[in-house]
Structure 1
Amino acid sequence: MEYVEQIQTLITDNLGPYGPLMVVGLLGVFLILITLPVLLRKEVDPLDRLKASAAADDKKKGKGDRLRAASGKDRLEKYANFLEPQNAEEYSAVQLRLLQAGYRSKNSVRIFHFLQFALGLFGLAIGGAYAMVQSAQVTVTAQDLALWVLVPGGIGYFLPRYWVTRRLQTRQQNITNAFPDSLDMMLVCVEAGQSLDQAIMRVAREMRGGFPDLAEEYEIVSQETKAGKDKTTVLKDMADRCGVSDISSFVTVLVQSQQFGTSIADALRVYASEMRDKRVMRAEEAANKLPTKMTLATMMLTVPPLMAILIGPSIYAIAVNLGR
Structure 2
Amino acid sequence: MEQINTILTDLLGPAGPLLAVGALGIVLIVVTVPFLLRKTEDPIEKLRKARESGSKSGQKVDLRVASGSDKLERYSAFLEPQDADEYSAVQLKLLQAGYPGKNAVRTFHFAQFALGIGLLIFGIFLTILKTANGQELTTTARMLWILIPGVAGYMLPKYWVTRRVETRKEEITNGFPDALDMMLTCVEAGQSLDQSILRVSKEIRASYPALADEFSIVSNEMKAGKDRVQVLRDLSERSGVPDVASFVTVMIQSATFGTSIADALRVYAGEMRDKRVMRAEEKANTLPTKMTLATMMLTVPPLLIILIGPSVYDIYLTLKSVRF
The residue aligned with 1:165 is: 162
1:267-300 superposed Cα distances (whole Å, 9 cap, x missing partner): 1011001100100110111111111222221111
User: What does residue 77 of structure 1 align with?
Assistant: 73
1:180 paired to 2:153 = no
Which residue of structure 1 aligns with residue 115 of structure 2?
Answer: 119
Partner of 1:298: 295
Residue 306 of structure 2 is aligned to residue 309 of structure 1: yes
TM-score, normalized by length of structure 1?
Answer: 0.79
Q: Which amino acid aligns with 1:112?
A: F
Alignment map for 1:1-324 (pairs within 5 Å)? 62-64=38-40, 67=43, 71-136=67-132, 137-324=134-321
**What is the distance in 2 between the residues matched to 1:292 and 1:129?**
47
4+ aligned runs moved over 4 Å, structure 1: 61-66
Q: What is the CA-CA distance between 1:73 and the residue it aligns to? A: 2.8
Q: Which amino acid counterpart does residue 129 of structure 1 have in structure 2?
A: F
Percent identity over paired residues: 63
What is the CA deviation profile of residues 114-173 of structure 1, one whole-angstrom value per residue up to 9, with x for unaligned ones? Answer: 000000001101100111112221222211111110000000000000000001100100
- How far apart in 2 are the matches of 1:268 and 1:225? 19
Which amino acid in structure 1 is aligned with residue 141 of structure 2? Answer: D
Residue 114 and residue 199 in structure 1: after superposition, are their counterparts in 2 closer, same or farther (change >3 A)? same
User: Which whole-Å CA distance do the structure 1 matches of 2:39 and 2:309 have between them?
Assistant: 95
3-state secondary structure, aligned to 2:101: coil
Cα shift at 1:72? 4.3
Deviation track 1:170-219 (CA, whole Å, cap 9, x = no partner) reads 01000000000000111111111111111111111111111111111111
Query: What is the alpha-carbon distance in structure 1 between the residues aligned to residue 250 and residue 39 of structure 2?
Result: 53
Distance 1:157 1:187 in 2: 46
Distance in 1 (CA, whole Å) between partners of 2:264 and 2:106 is 41
SS in 2 for 1:234: helix
Q: Which has the higher contact order (CA 8 A, sep 6+)?
A: 1
2:200 alignment partner AA: V
Question: Aligned residue pairs: how many?
Answer: 264
Q: Unmatched 5+ residue regions in structure 1? A: 1-60
RMSD (Å), alpha carbons: 1.6
Q: Tell me, in whole angstroms, the C-alpha distance in 1 between the residues paired with 2:99 and 2:253.
A: 30
Secondary structure, counterpart of 2:180 in structure 1? helix
Secondary structure of 2:181 counterpart:
helix
- Cα distance in 2 between the residues matched to 1:177 and 1:247: 11
Question: What amino acid is the match of 2:266?
Answer: R
| SS, match of residue 140 in structure 1 | coil
Q: Map Cα deviations across residues 236-260 of structure 1 (whole Å, 9 max, x no partner).
A: 1111111100000100100010011
Q: How much has 1:70 moved relative to structure 2?
A: 8.8
State which drifts further: 156-165 or 211-220: 211-220
Residue of structure 2 equivalent to 1:42: none
